[in-house]
Structure 1
Amino acid sequence: MLVQKLVPHYVEKPWGRTDLPPIFAAGAGRQIGEVWFESADGRDLPLLVKYIFTSDRLSIQVHPDDTQAVDKGLLRGKEEIWYILDSEPGATLGIGLTAPMTPDQFRAAAKDGSLEQWIDWKPVKPGDCYFIPAGTVHAIGAGITLAEIQQNADVTYRLYDYGRPRELHLDDGVAVSRLQLYDRALTQAPLGRETRLIGDDEAPFALDLVHWRGDQSVKVPDDKLLWFTPLSGAGTVNGLPWEKGDCLLLEGNCAFTITTGPVSALLAIPR
């Protein structure tokens, strides 16, 4: 199949929300934290597109890189990028530390709860975008809706969880954490702008924000896949209907005609 609409999978979380946007009506009444877009045939795809909705803080956590993950018997590590779609006043993201720490300091802070004070909490607004390399200690705060594009790996080392009765993974987490400040600049890319959010020379994938005012012809390179995630608008891809809230997978070695009026969308291609 050269183009397919990926299937939304609704994931309940203790920090999720019951008041999802109307485009995600299938999750109404449940405390949904994430919507994952997966292949209907169960294929292991290299990337995963998610929407994340928060009513409370997520755990402070970290992910391994590919080498560290393979050493643990996993297929791949996890690097991700966040594009903020909506945020309540005062909403923050925690990314990196406010000062370098030793592994012993870091472990002790995770155990006694003071780790929260070491996290660099950054205010956010719609259109903000942050890339989270593997090893970056991070947390998503309350009152945020974001789109996340990540390597397709369900591997998270939870370091601190605000007293929730969930398992922590301090040994694995401390081993892979970069105990330093986050040194990447914020990318500001409001809807309606065309911007390269990350290149495949920096990440396991390239991600672009596009804004098209009319029909487009898209050629996906041979042996590549492209994730088309519209954030506004509606139309068709080679006759297959899409609308805001969908995610389509386009397979390489084929030209695609995307019929649309104005649309803002995320385009992701693995390295």
Structure 2
Amino acid sequence: MVEKVWGRDSLPPPFAAPESKRIGEIWFEPPPELPDLLVKYLFTSEKLSVQVHPSDAQAAEGEHGKEECWLVLAADPGAQLAVGFREAVDSEAMRAAALDGSIEHLLAWHDVAPGDFIYLPAGTVHAIGGGLSLIEIQQNSDTTYRLYDYGRPRELHLDKAIAVADGGPHEPALRRKVPEHGCVSLVDGPHFRLDRLVGSPDGATAARYSQAALLAIPLDAPLTVAGTTIEPGECALASGISEIRFAEGGRALLTQPT
């Protein structure tokens, strides 16, 4: 559990925040078999900073890039996510807007609801609003460059951020509503794949995960991995999909590096 200024002191089940702690993130430490893939839950009570992540090629020596995606699990009325800009902005305009705080108004804010899915390539300027519970799958990197933080006393990284930021709109094809039923391929590279399934995987999904280790994340019903029960709110390593037994009608995520 990771404390954040924008976190919550009351978390949705099955999680519980320690007394007097504002928990914003729950990380699942990547296993040695999959060191480059990180799974998180995020719980927000207020807006996160306006920020951006570099690609592997753009990251400083000794750091890694970060591409990520979000699946909305719960959202208060009016909850929003910001991804990319409403209109193209150049570096000078981005810097000026970051300095005077108007950058948040240049971003494209989207009303979101449970089942909304967004993929963020490296370089996408973004912000997460309050009142959200998300699950995030990402490259295992904590390299974050902040452009604006609503006056909070945290470091900004304007030069680094502007050097890697895409000043254009987010590609609409990278945002979607996940259907309630069936197996759905959400991401297929370049760094990881991610599938949402309900019940057992279909043949195509099983084939994608048959040859290598993967992470299984039950969302609303337990599953078993090599005979061990994995409850919602947990994340498990499997050496292959054949080790996993899925609950009938239960929703789960599967992910692995590509």
TM-score, normalised to structure 2's length?
Answer: 0.91
For structure 1, which segment, 188-197 or 108-117, has the greater mean C-alpha deviation from structure 2 after superposition?
188-197
- Hey, what's the Cα distance between the residues in 2 that align with 1:199 and 1:11? 29
1:18-42 per-position Cα deviation (integer Å, ceiling 9, x unaligned): 1101211254542100000014x77
Mapped to 2, the partners of 1:13 and 1:38 lie a distance apart of 18
Q: Which residue of 1 aligns with 2:112?
A: 124
Cα distance in 2 for residues equivalent to 1:141 and 1:75: 27
Distance (Å, rounded) in 1 between the aligned partners of 2:137 and 2:244 = 23
Structure 2 alignment gaps of length 5 or more: none
Task: Report the 3-state secondary structure (helix = DSSP H, G, I; strand = E; otherwise coil) of the residue aligned with 1:25.
Answer: coil
What count of residue pairs does the alignment treat as equivalent? 254
1:38 aligns with 2:36: no
> Aligned letter for 2:145?
Y
Q: State the SS of the aligned residue for 1:164.
A: coil
**Larger strand percent:** 1
CA 1:98–1:44: 2 relative to 1, 3 Å:
same
Find the aligned partners of 1:260 and 1:197 in 2 and give their Cα distance: 21
Residue among 237, 244, 266 paired with 2:225? 237
Counterpart for residue 42 of structure 2? 52
Structure 2 counterpart of 1:181, one-letter code: P
Aligned to 2:149: 161
Deviates more, 1:235-244 or 1:157-166: 235-244
Q: Is the Cα–Cα contact under 8 Å of residues 226 and 238 in structure 2 kept in the other structure?
A: no
Counterparts of 1:113 and 1:257, CA distance in 2: 48
- Per the alignment, residue 255 of structure 1 pairs with 242
CA distance in 1 between partners of 2:4 and 2:123 (Å): 23
Separation of aligned partners in 2, 1:206 and 1:93: 22
Distance in 1 of aligned mates of 2:213 and 2:128:
28
1:189 has 2:193 as partner: no
Runs of 5+ unmatched residues, structure 1: 1-9
Runs of 4+ in 1 over 2 A off after TM superposition: 25-29, 41-44, 190-194, 216-222, 259-262
The two structures, once aligned, show a CA RMSD in angstroms of 2.2
- Aligned pair partner of 2:12 in 21, 35, 48: 21
The residue number in structure 2 matching 1:135 is 123
CA displacement at 1:263 relative to structure 2: 1.2
Q: Secondary structure at the match of 1:22?
A: coil
Q: Give me the identity figure in percent.
A: 45
